[in-house]
Structure 1
Amino acid sequence: MRSDGIRRRPVKIVATILSGNSQSLVSDAIVSVRDYMDQLLLIDTGITDETVARAEAAAGEKLKVLTFPWCDDFAAARNFALNAASEFNANWALTIDTDERVNFSSLRTRDALIARLNQRDDTMAWMVAAADHSYAKERFIRVPTSLTWVGRTHEALIGASDQARELLDDVHFWETPKSAEQYRHKLERDLRILETETAKDPGDARWWYYLGQTLDGMGETERALEAYQSCARNEGWNEQLAWSSYCAAKCLTRMHRFRDAEEAAAYGLTIDAGFAELPWIAGWACYQRDALEQAVAWSNMAANMGEFAARSLRRPRVGFRFLPAWYEAPYDTLRHALRKLGEFQAADRAEKCFRRAKQLRLGGNITV
């Protein structure tokens, strides 16, 4: 009770889980968050197997099952789930999928989680990073909310400023691996949607990026390259545009077009000069075509941006990270390029930095 005598409604956290036939997955997803939740809403998008029964066994009385007829639109389903959480009087809605698991790490109790979520009154959404820190997703959303999910696939939550969207660094999540059949099904579903969206709105960079990612996953490198380049040349979120340039450079290296890969990386740096991945892959491409001095120059640039050489200058990023490029990968190129150039002492120093940077990335103690 507040000192002014006004009774506050207890904070309520509700998990929302979209689910089709997920009987082998749903229990572990629920168990990973159950003790922190007041209620769990299972959004049935077309379940015909034992998913509901297994969810009930895992969640007990906390579970409520709601029906959302599937319409090939993840944003619509997630907005339905957010509205449902509001109707169940939630203060915070957790978004989790059946193939995801959450680790609350140092937040050992529900009260500790609530204190963290309510740390600032102006936070509208808390991001949670993947366990490997490669990307983050909006997980906890303050409800009721003016924020909206958009996008039939690879949906994005819009409406929050950077200041109203914070990283909840006490919590991490991971995804269970998909079988080859499940992965192919996902890619084919996404391809169908994304080809429609890029044709309908070719000026939306994010559709091109996700089309490139989907085609990449299907092994269609040339078509993926075209999609990534279309993303990078559009207007949009600079972080995504620069990452698309990096993805285009990766495609080009697989096609052994190393000079073009260097140019794609350089183009990405004109969009966002804070990506260590871009000079790293430019240096690696130069090494592959035996342009050793260029390889050294690019790799030194990447190393100076990275977390090993410039940890105090770390630049936060929501996602889109290839962590070895921020640690040991530039030194890997350097140690080989310098040795080929006959600069053996410099190569030995690069070798030592390579080993120490890799230790740092993997969380080990750095040895001299």
Structure 2
Amino acid sequence: MITISLCMIVKNEENVIARCLNSVKDIVDEIIIVDTGSTDNTKEIASGFTDKIYDFKWIDDFSAARNFSYSKAVMDYILWLDADDVILEKDKEKFINLKQTLLPAIDMVMMKYDVAFDEHGTVTLSYFRERLSKRINNYEWKEAVHEYLQINGIVINSDIHITHQKLHPSSSGRNLLIYEKIISTGADLTPRGLFYYARELSESGRYDDAIKYYNKFLDTGEGYLEDNIRACSDLAICYYIKHDLHNMLKILLRSFEYDTPRAEICCHLGFYYLDKEEYDKAIVWYKIALQLEKPAEGWGFILHDYWDFIPNIQLSVCYDRLGNLDEAIIYNNKAAEYKPENSQVLFNKLYFKKSNEIIK
């Protein structure tokens, strides 16, 4: 059976770190905590789980801190978690089984990262992350922000999920400031850096700058396929916010250059035509979204609602606008199969009930 070192970097995580460590303490063989400047009780709480607590001066570089934490590991494999991550009981059982059965030839294990949820706790965004890696391979973290381990060797996908349970938002503007510090030195961002910088700009409401850097990223021609498609999706939203529907349509269609259609792209195209009140065209794209096979093993972002709930609820809207009440009810009922307590579903049910009463 393999042994596992848990390596974490933390700062001011007193509200969540015990929850995280309690969820993983029965899986790992050592816990390494690297603190980057806590002023709360993070280190005191962590000391109840491990005596391997190290200080690391923060230098605006997540990879540097993670690589330092990895340098302290001594077990066969290294697992990383953030302090607001947990391993749920069902996934803990799977993890223990993996630990008992993992073949020593395996270099890296990918695990699903569930990072966003609706109001009822259903996962809305997930993707694979490089989660468990063989220590003797000396994998290194890359990029100062939105860091990653370079993937190579024998890699397998696992059905284990790591659940992100954020209690508080990330430090406002922290990542943006790090990127802009890098740019101020005259250094060029990598293609990955351009992509994530554009996302940070968009999330900060700087849509003109986001558009500029999304396009710079795509024009490199060096982006990871799934990042290219996500960039097209995000860029389309930026264009819509800027009321630039012409470029919104162009960038959505450009996404088809990279791979087969993604449901979120088809739904954005549906919305493009819905917004123009061209409901028949919108219906085409929402139905295409429903016909696509949802990926199970890909390493890209999976925006789950776009593969089922969103196209169904939007088809209900389109058919209602066309005066086809029967089809509108059918698609609202299909949307209810995925989110029965959703406020829009419940509103539609009441609306359709009243409409039928008026017709009668």
- Measure, in 2, the Cα distance between the counterparts of 1:112 and 1:65: 28
- Measure, in 2, the Cα distance between the counterparts of 1:177 and 1:304: 36
Q: Which residue of 1 aligns with 2:3?
A: 12
Q: Which residue of 2 aligns with 1:355?
A: 336
For structure 2, the 5+ residue unaligned runs are 116-122, 343-360
Q: CA deviation at 1:50?
A: 2.8
Q: CA deviation at 1:315?
A: 5.0
- Measure, in 2, the Cα distance between the counterparts of 1:108 and 1:125: 16
Q: Bigger shift: 288-297 or 333-342?
A: 333-342
Pick the aligned partner of 1:232 from 213, 218, 239: 218
Pick the aligned partner of 1:150 from 142, 157, 163: 142
Q: Say whether the 8 Å CA contact 2:77–2:132 is kept in structure 1.
A: yes
Q: Which residue of 2 aligns with 1:319?
A: 300
Pick the aligned partner of 2:177 from 168, 175, 189: 189
Q: Which amino acid aligns with 2:97?
A: A
Q: CA deviation at 1:357?
A: 4.6
Helix, strand or coil for the counterpart of 2:26? helix
Pick the aligned partner of 2:81 from 89, 96, 99: 96
Q: Say whether the 8 Å CA contact 1:194–1:210 is kept in structure 2.
A: no
Matching of residue 209 in structure 1 with residue 201 in structure 2: no
- Measure, in 1, the Cα distance between the counterparts of 2:248 and 2:24: 43
Aligned pairs for 1:18-97 within 5 A: 18-57=9-48, 59=49, 62-85=50-73, 88=74, 90-97=75-82
Q: Say whether the 8 Å CA contact 1:276–1:303 is kept in structure 2.
A: yes
Q: Say whether the 8 Å CA contact 2:108–2:131 is kept in structure 1.
A: no
Q: Which residue of 1 aligns with 2:155?
A: 165
Q: Say whether the 8 Å CA contact 2:4–2:76 is kept in structure 1.
A: yes
Encode CA deviations 1:260-294: one digit per residue, 9 max, x unaligned.
Answer: 32222111122222411111111111110122232
For structure 1, the 5+ residue unaligned runs are 1-9, 308-313, 362-368
Q: Which residue of 2 aligns with 1:341?
A: 322
Q: Which residue of 2 aligns with 1:311?
A: none
Q: Say whether the 8 Å CA contact 1:127–1:168 is kept in structure 2.
A: yes
RMSD: 2.8
Q: Note closer, same or farther for the CA distance 1:260–1:292 as it changes in structure 2 (3 Å cut).
A: farther
TM-score (norm 1): 0.80
Q: Which amino acid aligns with 1:350?
A: Y
- Measure, in 2, the Cα distance between the counterparts of 1:165 and 1:69: 33
Aligned residues with identical type, % of pairs: 20
Q: Which amino acid aligns with 2:336?
A: R
Pick the aligned partner of 2:166 from 173, 176, 179: 176
Q: CA deviation at 1:169?
A: 1.5
- Measure, in 2, the Cα distance between the counterparts of 1:168 and 1:104: 16
Matching of residue 130 in structure 1 with residue 110 in structure 2: no
Q: Note closer, same or farther for the CA distance 1:158–1:243 as it changes in structure 2 (3 Å cut).
A: same
- Measure, in 1, the Cα distance between the counterparts of 2:51 and 2:261: 45
Q: Note closer, same or farther for the CA distance 1:175–1:232 as it changes in structure 2 (3 Å cut).
A: farther
Pick the aligned partner of 1:301 from 259, 271, 288: 288
TM-score (norm 2): 0.82
Q: Which residue of 1 aligns with 2:350?
A: none
Q: Say whether the 8 Å CA contact 2:79–2:131 is kept in structure 1.
A: yes
- Measure, in 2, the Cα distance between the counterparts of 1:190 and 1:207: 11
Higher RCO (C-alpha 8 Å, min separation 6): 2
Matching of residue 220 in structure 1 with residue 201 in structure 2: no
Q: CA deviation at 1:331?
A: 2.2
Q: Say whether the 8 Å CA contact 2:157–2:297 is kept in structure 1.
A: no
Q: CA deviation at 1:343?
A: 4.6
Helix, strand or coil for the counterpart of 1:94? strand
